[in-house]
Chains A and B, each alone.
Chain A
Amino acid sequence: MQIVIASGKGGTGKTTVASNLAFVLSQKQSITLCDCDVEEPNQEIFFPCDFKVQRVHVEVPLILEEQCVHCGSCGEFCRFGALTVLKDRVLFFPQLCHSCDGCFRVCPTDALKKQQIDVGELLLCNPSDTLSLIIGRLKEGDTRTTAVIRAVRDMIHTVPLVILDSPPGTACPFIETVDAVDLCVLVTESTPFGLHDLSVAVDVLSLLCIRSVVVINRSDGNDKIIEEYCSKHQLPILMRIPFDFKLLCAQNKGLLISQEDSDWFERFSLLGDQILTYSTGAL
């Protein structure tokens, strides 16, 4: 079971919800928490650990000029413009390569050799017997975000229960995180910005045929703007998390509010149970 905590709009509280949910659920069962926001991962703030580091690589072509006959096949094939075949040599633009592997397949003379490029790392640890943490971190300045997210997801194929903290937005990093998961929990806020980005995320999830549910964070009791939208689109609102300074203070100190406060533990426990029920398709 793979459950993504996403939002559309950044800063709505994905990490707050994901980290507390993981902690609370881990009290009853084994669970893995993944940080897929690889451009700016932050789950390690809430689970300080002795992390094991695993590098993440992509493969790019190295041109063996002695074997190249400058037929132009690789340049024709590459839709990203990463290979330019000139009369006497081949130019490679690493920043354009998407590591699709295609050029290796079309080269008739084995003139392209696979070369590994380091693009980031996975940080692995077990904060407890029942909680495992997998954090993806992209190398600063690199653009191959989806490669690192894929590396995170490759670690969880056989894990029974996983929560994935998604990147913000609705572009490639979000899609790489959310593709083929069982449920997407959209954390939103009752503002026009929150609504707008929520609706974009809902549209994308609908195209991907992924079930989504909504959690309203920082609610002040007046959530009509979101409620009307959710009602119209038949999206269940699982919970309204109230705006609470105690929570803000704790989380901003790097603490988990559900670990500090029994009322909040109960709240997240209830949310966790509801999410699990929805993700099995029972509702």
Chain B
Amino acid sequence: MIVCVPSRGPTVESQMDDRFGRAAFFAFFNTDSGEVHVAENPHAGGSGGVGPQAVQFLVQNGVTTLIAPRLGGNAEEALVASKIQVIMQNPDVTVVQAFQTWKDNAGISA
């Protein structure tokens, strides 16, 4: 499975972003292969519709689980339809800390 964490910076040591649609970067953790990469959010500067566009970006990257800060209405609607599992996380942690917390609790649904 592929777990996504919004990030303020280009590495997993960066702080988790407190936004979803306008997050600066997205970190992707592949729990099967162990592969990790951080990509720039292509729609971060958009004036509108960034929530659905971010969901589309996640779907294109095969995301199954999103560790999320607060979510806007359109983003929430798109996420529910996409069947991506959403785990709420206070963004006062680093990206890798957020992933680790989820991993440690894996199997407990939020």
Contacts and interface: CB of A to CB of B under 8 A. Distances in A.
Contact of B52 (A72, A81, A87): A81
Nearest to A70: B59
26 contacts: A75-B53, A75-B56, A78-B49, A79-B46, A80-B49, A81-B48, A81-B49, A81-B50, A81-B51, A81-B52, A81-B74, A82-B49, A84-B55, A84-B56, A84-B82, A85-B56, A85-B59, A86-B55, A86-B59, A86-B78, A86-B81, A89-B81, A91-B77, A93-B49, A96-B49, A96-B52
Contacts of B74: 81, 93, 96
A67 B56 CA distance: 20
Interface string A61-90: 000000000001001001111111111010
B60 interface: yes
A84 B52 contact: yes
Given A89-B81, A96-B48, A96-B74, A84 B53 contact: yes
Interface string B38-59: 0000010010111111011001
Contacts of A96: 48-49, 52, 74
A234 to B, nearest CB: 34
Contacts of B53: 75, 81, 84
Interface string B66-110: 000000001001100110000000000000000000000000000
A91 B81 contact: yes
Nearest to A75: B56
Contact of B59 (A80, A81, A83, A87): A87
B59 A91 contact: no
A53 to B, nearest CB: 31
Interface in B1-36: none
Nearest to B49: A81
Indicate the member of A82, A83, A93 with the most B CB atoms within 10 Å: A93
Given A72-B60, A93-B52, A96-B52, A81 B77 contact: no
B21 to A, nearest CB: 8
Contacts, number: 52
B83 to A, nearest CB: 8
Given A81-B43, A91-B77, A96-B74, A86 B52 contact: no
B81 A81 contact: no
Indicate the member of A78, A84, A91 with the most B CB atoms within 10 Å: A84
Indicate the member of A72, A81, A87 with the most B CB atoms within 10 Å: A81
B84 to A, nearest CB: 9
Contacts of B46: 79, 81
A91 B60 contact: no
Indicate the member of B50, B55, B56 with the most A CB atoms within 10 Å: B56
Contacts of A75: 53, 56
Contacts of B55: 84, 86
Contacts of B59: 84-87
B39 to A, nearest CB: 16
A3 to B, nearest CB: 32
Contacts of B52: 81-84, 91, 93, 96
Contacts of A83: 52
Nearest to B55: A84
A86 B48 CA distance: 19
Contacts of B78: 84, 86, 91
A256 B84 CA distance: 62
Nearest to A87: B59
Contacts of A84: 52-53, 55-56, 59, 78, 81-82
